[in-house]
Amino acid sequence: MMLDPAEEESEVHRRRLNKSSRLERIHEATHKLGFVHVDDLADELQVSRMTIHRDLDDLQRQGALRKVRGGASAQRSTQFESDLGFRSHSAMHEKSEMAAAAAEFASEGDVVLLDDSTTALALVPLLGVKDSITVITNSLPALNQLALMPGVTTISLGGQYVPNYSAYLGMLCESTIRNLYADVLFASTSSLRNSVLYHQDQRVVATKRAMIESAQRRVLLLDHTKIGPGALHKLCEVSEFTDVVVDDLVDEAIVRSFEEHGLNTIVAPRRARP
C-alpha cells in the first residue's frame, strides 16, 4: 500500500537515527572497514552529505577518526593516532606472540611499568601469574584487568584522562612517574623511522619519556605495522631502550640494525624464517 506524502515523510523521519546513534554507527563502520565514504554513509543513514560532514567533524574532534577526501579513516597518519578500539584489533596475533616473549623479562617481585599501548596491554594476563609483582600504569584498560588480580599490587598514575587513548596523561601523570622507580618498562609507540621512534601526540611523548627515565630495564615492543610510517613528534633514539621484541614479519635488516645499536633483540615467535 502506498503511503500518502505526509505518512511517507513521517516514515523517513522515523527511520532516521538521532545524532548520538548516527555517531556510534559511523564510528563502528569506520573501525570495521578502515575507511568510509561520505556518500555511502549519507545513503545508509538517510541524511544529507552536509549532516555526515558535521558528524565526521564531531568524531574527528573526539579523536575517533580523521576526515580525509571523500570520507573518513581510522588508520593512523603523521598527526593522527588511531583510538584504542581500532588499535586493539590490529596485529592481534603478533601482539599476543610478542607479549609471551616479553613476559620473560619480568620476574617475581619486580616493579613493572606499563605504558598505554595495546601491545603492553597484552602483557597484563601474563604478569598476573607472577608472585609479588607490582604494576604501575596509566592505562585504564590495564588497571581494570589488574583490579581483578588479587596477587598483584597496582599503582595508578593518575592525571588527565584522555578518552581516545583510554589513558591518563599530562603533568600530574609525568610527575608521579618521576617519583617512582621500576625494574622494567614495557612500552611501544606508533612509528620507527631509521633509528628514531616517534608518536603523533606530544602528551603521549612526554609521558613515555618520563617512563623511560624511571626504569632500569626498558623493553620496546614493536610490531611490523609500526616500521616505516612517520609520526609528528620524536620520542627518542631506539638505543635508549635496552631490549626490543618484534614480530617475525619485521624485516631482517631492521632486526640487525637493532642489534647493531646494542639492543638485546627478540623475534617472536622464535621460529625459522622461510
Residue 14 has pLDDT above 50, yes or no: no
pLDDT at 177: 98
Confidence of residue 26 (pLDDT cuts 50, 70, 90): confident
Give residue 89's Cα distance to chain centre.
10
Q: Per residue in 133-183, pLDDT tens?
A: 999 999 999 999 999 998 899 999 999 999 889 999 999 999 999 999 999
Q: Per residue in 233-270, pLDDT tens?
A: 999 999 999 999 999 999 999 999 999 999 999 999 85
pLDDT at 268: 94
Which CATH number applies to 86-268? Answer: 3.40.50.1360
pLDDT at 80: 65
Nearest CA to 109 out of 137, 123, 130, 126 is that of 130
Q: Per residue in 44-102, pLDDT tens?
A: 888 888 998 899 888 888 778 878 888 888 776 677 676 677 776 677 889 999 999 99
Residue 8 has pLDDT above 70, yes or no: no
Worst-scoring range by mean pLDDT, 14-28, 54-68, 214-228? 14-28
In one-letter notation, the amino acid at residue 226 is K
Identify which of 18-22, 30-34, 127-131, 241-245 has the greatest average pLDDT.
241-245
In the chain, where the domains are located: 5-75, 86-268
pLDDT at 249: 92
User: DSSP characters for 173-224?
Assistant: HHHHHHT--EEEEEE--SEEETTEEEES-HHHHHHHHHHHHHEEEEEEEE-G
Q: Which fold has domain 5-75?
A: Arc Repressor Mutant, subunit A (1.10.10)
CB 128 within 8 A of CB 149: yes
Worst-scoring range by mean pLDDT, 8-22, 116-130, 170-184? 8-22
Q: What is the pTM of this model?
A: 0.78
Residue 22 has pLDDT above 50, yes or no: yes
Q: Does residue 214 come out as left (phi exceeding 0), alpha (psi in the -120 to 50 range) or beta?
A: alpha
Task: Give the distance between the most distant pair of CA atoms in the chain.
Answer: 76
Give the integer Cα–Cα distance in Å for 135 and 130.
11
Confidence of residue 211 (pLDDT cuts 50, 70, 90): very high
